[in-house]
Structure 1
Amino acid sequence: MDQLCWQALGDGMTDILLLWRTELARPAAAWDKVTDAWRVKIRAAMRQLEQDAAQLSKSPFGIGQISVICALGQLDFRWSDCDWRTHFPQLAAFDAQMAQRASVASTVPDDDHAGDNVADITAGHLWFET
């Protein structure tokens, strides 16, 4: 059951992060009530995953870990200023452990727009509190 819960959290986070970034890219202003709700959900999911980090690390590698790794990868790739590792050290340790797996290391995204001098549209929209 843990694997399915982690999959739901990870998939939900990834969905929100992708939708949120798309919303921020719209020519019209982002809908604050929606983005505020997404922020609350991401924070809650991260708190839960921090509590589950030891179990995530000890459990056999499965769909739950894959989904969580993808969500954390999205935070690193498109929400890099949120500094999640500082606020969720157990989850950061889990992520570092998983990054040693060949299957994870070989799928880290390459930013094909690096150096375009395009302002990161997600900057300042997601932060975590201690």
Structure 2
Amino acid sequence: MQLFHSHFSPFVRKVMVVAHEGGLADRINLLPSAAHPTNRDARILERHPLAQVPTLVLEDGRVLADSRVICEYLDASGGGGLFPPAGSARWTALGEQSTADGLLDAALLIRYELTARPEAERSAAWIAGQEAKIDSALTAFEAEAAGYGDRVDIGTIAIACALGYLDLRFPDLGWRGNRPALGGWFEGFAERPSMLATRPPAP
């Protein structure tokens, strides 16, 4: 398998954490990319119309994009278990993944606003709106963090990758300040071999 990737993409990290947890990481060849919100990478565009990372090229030539789709494919191809079967646990994990991905969407929109737009075109109201989404998601995670325990599934993986991205790109946010349960849980989860193996380099 081949994966168009960026070491700094939290969605790529989520995919690779799942790959490590399922014992598939050594079967994935990482392809360099320069995905951008406006200047699309022609190398990815040749394989998928959205030209986004992560994009996974399978051995048979089929192409999968979107981290949620790729993660489920890898889980089904590996040891399985990161996507709980039908029932309450599945909907909990999928809901957590959705909220974590939404947090990341908001964070990336801020990142793009600050790096892809000229300063004169930036919107303070837009940035504040995205920051409010991040804060709401973190508050929701804090309320549930005491129950995460040692659970390892797509929900907790997505949350951990989202928190790791905040540490990487928004260290001044200080999200741990009034969220002791979430911070304590993340400190332990971040030491998992899969998280350590996918830790992004210092920017």
Q: TM-score, normalised by structure 1?
A: 0.79
Residue type of the partner of 1:101?
R
Which one has more relative contact order, counting CA pairs under 8 Å at least 6 apart? 1
- In structure 1, stretches of 5+ residues that fail to align are 114-130
Richer in helix (by share) = 1
Task: State how far apart, in whole Å, the 2-side matches of 1:86 and 1:36 are.
Answer: 19
Q: Which amino acid aligns with 2:157?
A: I
Which blocks of at least 5 consecutive residues in structure 2 are unaligned?
Answer: 1-90
Q: In the alignment, what sits opposite 2:49?
A: none
Tell me the CA shift for residue 33 of structure 1. Answer: 2.3
* Maintained 8 Å contact 1:14/1:70: no
Contact 2:109/2:130 (CA < 8 Å) preserved in 1?
no
Match of residue 72 from structure 1: 163
Deviations 1:92-120 (A, max 9, x none): 01101101210011111102x4xxxxxxx
Counterpart code for 1:57: G
1:41 to 133, 136, 141: 133
**1:98 equivalenced with 2:189 (yes/no):** yes
Q: Distance in 2 between matches of 1:35 and 1:101?
A: 33
| Bigger-Rg structure (1/2) | 2
2:88 pairs with 1:10: no
Partner of 1:126: none
Identity across the alignment (%): 35
User: CA–CA distance in 2 between the matches of 1:102 and 1:29?
Assistant: 42
Within the candidate set 63, 86, 89, 2:177 is matched to: 86
TM-aligned CA deviation for residue 34 of structure 1: 1.7
Once the 2 structures are TM-superposed, how far is the Cα of residue 32 of structure 1 from its aligned partner?
2.2
Give the whole-Å Cα distance in 1 for the aligned partners of 2:175 and 2:149: 18
Q: Decide whether the 8 Å contact of 1:13 with 1:42 is kept in 2.
A: yes
- How many aligned positions are there? 111
Q: TM-score, normalised by structure 2?
A: 0.52
